[in-house]
Amino acid sequence: MAAQLDYHTIRTIFERFQAQNPAPEGELDHTNVYTLLVAVALSAQSTDIGVNRATAELFKIADTPEKMLALGEEGVIEHIKTIGLYRNKAKNVIKMAQMLVDEFGGEVPNSRAALELLPGVGRKTANVVLNMWWDYPAQAVDTHIERIGNRTGICPGKNVVAVERAIEDHIPVDFQKHAHLWMILHGRYVCKARRPLCGGCLIRDLCPYEDKTL
């Protein structure tokens, strides 16, 4: 685990991320807040590309909790059986839809605590939805962020909650809105787990991690 970087270094890092990609976007396809919630829940232990393929037809016929309930668990399975843990995920999607109808009037709630009450929704999923739909600077820490946070010293921590707190405490507030997306994309395409592309990294000179291209 790298030591926590200082304020000026972190600011420089995020200035570079911003200059390269001023308005980063998540890569899960969705049409409304409900389909965003379902897509993020389905993405656990699956790739965004795989989820997008599975939901392309699903969301055409079930873009509300009511429509998802009408489709039923077996109907959901038929659409998502190409992604990992599809049976358990289909069960949670139906349970989630039922709870949204029964307890939230068919609307997706916008507090973290309420979102986390929903089957299949954890803190990361809740934070993604709060950030992407309601523009709240919630930090959705996934394996990419946890990895680069500890490699680079941007937001080191022993677990995802500690990394999330490090983001909130150390990244300047003017970068908080897009912070997790910049780091996810950097971890997904540059600072990869096994073979990081250090030679093409825009923060190479600011990173304490051993350059793997040397």
142 part of the active site: yes
| Known catalytic membership, residue 48 | no
Q: How far is CA 208 from CA 73, 105, 149, in A?
A: 48, 50, 11
Residue 110 exposure: Cα atoms within 13 Å on the Cβ side: 10
Closest CA to 179 of 126, 129, 138, 127: 138
Enumerate the H helices of the chain as residue ranges: 7-20, 33-42, 48-61, 65-80, 86-104, 112-116, 123-134, 143-152, 160-170, 176-189
Three-class DSSP category at 181:
helix
Tokens of residue 50, six digits: 């795989």
CA gap 98, 92 in Å, rounded = 10
Of residues 124, 174, 177, 212, which has the active-site annotation?
Answer: 124
- Catalytic residue from among 6, 95, 102, 142: 142
What residues act catalytically? Answer: 124, 142
